[in-house]
Amino acid sequence: MRGYTSSSYGDAFADVYDDWYRDVSNIDATVAAITRLAAGGAVLELGVGTGRLALPLAAAGMSVTGIDSSDEMLQRLASGDPNGTVTAVKGDMVDDLPDGKFDVVLVAYNTLFGLLTADRQEACFRSVAERLTPTGSFVVEAFVPVPHTGSQVAVRSMTADRVVLTASIHDANDQTAEGHYIELTDAGGVRLRPWAIRWSSPDELDAMAERSNLVVRDRWGDFDGRPFTADSERHVSAYVPGMTEQPGSRTATFATDSEKST
């Protein structure tokens, strides 16, 4: 989308993000899983946004750093974190990752797909690999793509004086989708909120990871630890430095045994 930059999404959605997306995933389960993986160590969240996840992670006792390219998102994070429990970094999640070693690097809720080419996504894996402790994990939460081509317009929400429409274009060859949320109000206002993604399949992500000297250790259907299956609509994958084992061949770390059985 011409004119779209790495801060466009965050700047356009910061004011509604928590209202619209707070419940897109299970925050408690995410915190529990990352707590187990980090084992008291340091966590870096890529595309930290308003702190939907980072703030509860910090409240659970972890040392959390979050990077984001959007000033608007980082202002929301700061206003929800008066005591500065999350160390916020303004920058790009490929080029500007902070120095240091992290026990968990987390990129949640499809945020990796906000990098709009396969090369940029792979560069992200490389940057993360350089910052993981030898026992650290890069945790990626993303949807499993169902490629299609075409355009669509739909209604997201409607009241007597306000309607939010979505307009999007999907390209299965380029593995891209882009669109706008279009907010129309009775008072005469129109507000555009643009978004753009480049999706990758789990296999493609695994190949990017391998070329970055990371391998997938665990893959689940969600942070609750449900198994990843052929029907899973999303995945939570943990990549670790330079191992050759297959997924599931080590002790699972995302969920306790009791959680997995529920």
Ligand X SMILES: C[S@@+](CC[C@H](N)C(=O)[O-])C[C@H]1O[C@@H](n2cnc3c(N)ncnc32)[C@H](O)[C@@H]1O
Question: What residues are paired with 178 via a beta bridge?
Answer: 169, 196
Among the listed residues 111, 127, 175, 200, the single contact to ligand X using CB under 6 A = 111
- Three-state SS for 193? strand
Contact 118, 198 (CB under 8 A): yes
Using the contact rule CB under 6 A, the part of the chain among 43-51, 130-138, 149-157, 186-194 near ligand X is 43-51
Exposure string for 182-191, b = 16+ CB within 10 A, e = fewer? bbeeeeeeee
In the list 34, 37, 43, 47, the residue contacting ligand X (rule: CB under 6 A) is 47
Supply 151's token pair: 């355009």
Judged by beta carbon, residue 191 or residue 260, the one nearer ligand X is 191
Both tokens of 241, joined, read: 């430095």
- Based on the shown chain and the rule CB under 6 A, indicate whether residue 48 belongs to the binding site for ligand X: yes
* Binds ligand X by CB under 6 A, chosen from 69, 175, 200, 212: 69
Q: Give the nearest distance from C-beta 249 to ligand X in angstroms.
A: 29
Identify each DSSP E strand in 52-149 by its residue range. Answer: 63-68, 86-90, 102-107, 132-143
Task: Determine, following the binding rule CB under 6 A, whether residue 49 of this chain makes contact with ligand X.
Answer: yes
CA distance 178 to 151: 10
Q: Which is nearer to ligand X, 215 or 235 (CB)?
A: 235
Closest approach of ligand X to the CB of residue 187, in Å = 28
Nearest residue to 179 (alpha-carbon basis) of 164, 168, 187: 168
| Binding-site member from 34, 68, 105, 196 for ligand X (CB under 6 A) | 68
- Closest distance between ligand X and the C-beta of residue 81, in Å? 14
Q: Return phi, psi of residue 225, to 5°.
A: 90, 15
Residues near ligand X (CB under 6 A): 6, 9-10, 47-49, 52-53, 67-70, 73, 92-93, 108-109, 111, 114-115
